[in-house]
């Protein structure tokens, strides 16, 4: 392919990504407009200053959340190449734009690794996998703790089944943590598969992380978990100030793990999240509409705004 042809293809790909992402964002925003109007309704009954301060803090936490993810991305890619903090930020936001059009945020991988040199892109997917596995481990560990609390306090029938599910969850989480801190086992396992072994150069990056590095990566994941938990805490306290804090936080932990286990398209994820939240929080509050409104507002901030910002960085992508 000639240089001019590559340029044309590159421009077309960028335009295609932006058009598809823009269409998805616009369509989903319109579909969820009623939920956001519900948020406005609840907010209108609260001091404007209070609402502005709280939502301002939530926006700041959104930027902190993705800044922490950029720090984590920069750290995991050190095993491949040194990138600047700004390059990490660009990659993260670009990945969020790609994520909105793909199931389970798979496009996020593509959006990020395109900021790496061509020869580092496939290994970069496996490096990102280590970071994602760390985030999932944190979510699952805390989710199982919340699950135990939920069973003890709210499940009074089918106890054997409920505790069986908890036991399975504990076993899975324990295995996940063991595997995470021995992530090099993944390389060994893949090397034992003949038709995969020939691609060793791509996935061997997972064997480069030492325990202290994996602990630091998990530290970034824990910091992110605390950050987006605080977003929900602030919004729910704004809309439902009488909800018990401990019950709210434990239910949020359960909500996060259940939501992460349900496959969905990122932009349609708000429907899944709203449905999940409304069915879980009914155990601790009767303000179902406020819960859905709160979840929708956080979705708008955490996904809608970053996806728009990320579209600016899509223009900087180098496909060839």
Q: Is residue 37 part of a domain?
A: yes
Q: Is residue 251 part of a domain?
A: yes
Q: Which residue(s) pair with 265 in the sheet?
A: 103
Q: Is residue 319 part of a domain?
A: no
Q: Which tokens belong to 263?
A: 């496959």
Sequence-ordered alpha helix ranges (H) in the chain = 3-31, 33-43, 48-76, 85-99, 107-113, 121-154, 159-180, 184-191, 194-197, 200-203, 211-239, 245-261, 269-280, 288-299, 305-314
Q: Is residue 55 part of a domain?
A: yes
DSSP of 97-121: HHHTTSBTTTHHHHHHHTTS-GGGH
Can you give the residue range of the structural domain that contains 76?
A: 3-314
Which pLDDT tens digits describe the chain residue by residue (320 residues)?
676 666 777 777 777 777 777 777 776 666 655 666 677 767 777 888 888 999 999 999 999 999 999 999 999 999 999 999 999 999 999 888 888 777 667 778 888 888 899 899 999 999 999 999 999 999 999 999 999 999 888 887 777 888 888 899 899 999 999 999 999 999 999 999 988 988 898 999 999 999 999 999 999 999 999 999 999 999 999 999 888 999 999 999 999 998 888 766 554 555 666 777 878 888 988 888 888 888 888 888 888 788 888 888 777 766 65
CA atoms of 77 and 95, how far apart (whole Å): 15
**What pLDDT, on a 0 to 100 scale, did the predictor assign at position 96?**
87
Residues 282-309: b if buried by 16+ CB within 10 A, e if exposed: eebbebeebbbbbbbbbbbbbbbbbbeb
CA atoms of 23 and 25, how far apart (whole Å): 6
How many domains does the chain divide into?
A: 1
Q: Which tokens belong to 163?
A: 């505790």
* 3-state percent helix, strand, coil for the chain, nearest multiple of 5: 80, 0, 20
CA atoms of 56 and 301, how far apart (whole Å): 10
Q: Is residue 144 part of a domain?
A: yes
**What pLDDT, on a 0 to 100 scale, did the predictor assign at position 260?**
83
**What pLDDT, on a 0 to 100 scale, did the predictor assign at position 269?**
54
**What pLDDT, on a 0 to 100 scale, did the predictor assign at position 1?**
63
Q: Is residue 320 part of a domain?
A: no
Residue given tokens 């819960």 in the structure block: 291
Q: Which tokens belong to 167?
A: 């036991």
């Amino acid at each position: 392919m000639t240089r001019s042809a590559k340029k044309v293809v590159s421009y077309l790909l960028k335009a295609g990504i932006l058009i598809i992402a823009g269409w998805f964002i616009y369509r989903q925003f319109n579909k969820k407009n009623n939920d956001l109007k519900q948020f406005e309704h609840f907010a209108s009954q609260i001091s404007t200053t209070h609402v502005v301060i709280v939502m301002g803090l939530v926006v700041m936490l959104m930027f902190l959340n993705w800044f922490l993810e950029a720090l984590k991305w920069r750290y995991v890619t050190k095993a491949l190449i040194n990138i600047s903090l700004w390059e990490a930020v660009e990659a993260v936001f670009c990945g969020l734009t790609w994520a909105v059009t793909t199931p389970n945020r798979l496009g996020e991988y593509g959006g990020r690794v395109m900021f790496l040199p061509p020869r580092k892109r496939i290994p970069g997917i496996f490096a990102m996998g280590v970071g994602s596995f760390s985030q999932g481990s944190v979510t699952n560990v805390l989710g199982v703790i919340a699950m135990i609390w939920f069973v003890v306090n709210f499940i009074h029938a089918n106890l054997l089944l409920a505790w069986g599910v908890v036991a399975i969850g504990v076993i899975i989480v324990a295995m996940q943590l063991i595997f995470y801190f021995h992530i090099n086992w993944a390389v060994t396992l893949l090397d034992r598969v003949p038709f995969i072994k020939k691609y060793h150069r791509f996935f061997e990056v997972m064997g480069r992380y030492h325990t202290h590095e994996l602990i630091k990566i998990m530290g970034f994941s824990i910091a992110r978990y605390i950050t987006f938990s605080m977003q929900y805490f602030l919004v729910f306290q704004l809309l439902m100030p009488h909800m018990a804090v401990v019950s709210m936080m434990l239910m949020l932990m359960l909500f996060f793990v259940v939501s992460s286990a349900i496959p969905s398209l990122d932009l349609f994820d708000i429907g899944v999240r709203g449905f999940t939240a409304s069915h879980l929080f009914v155990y601790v509050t009767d303000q179902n509409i406020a819960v859905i409104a709160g979840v929708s507002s956080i979705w708008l901030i955490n996904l809608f705004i970053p996806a728009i910002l990320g579209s600016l960085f899509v223009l900087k992508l180098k496909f060839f």
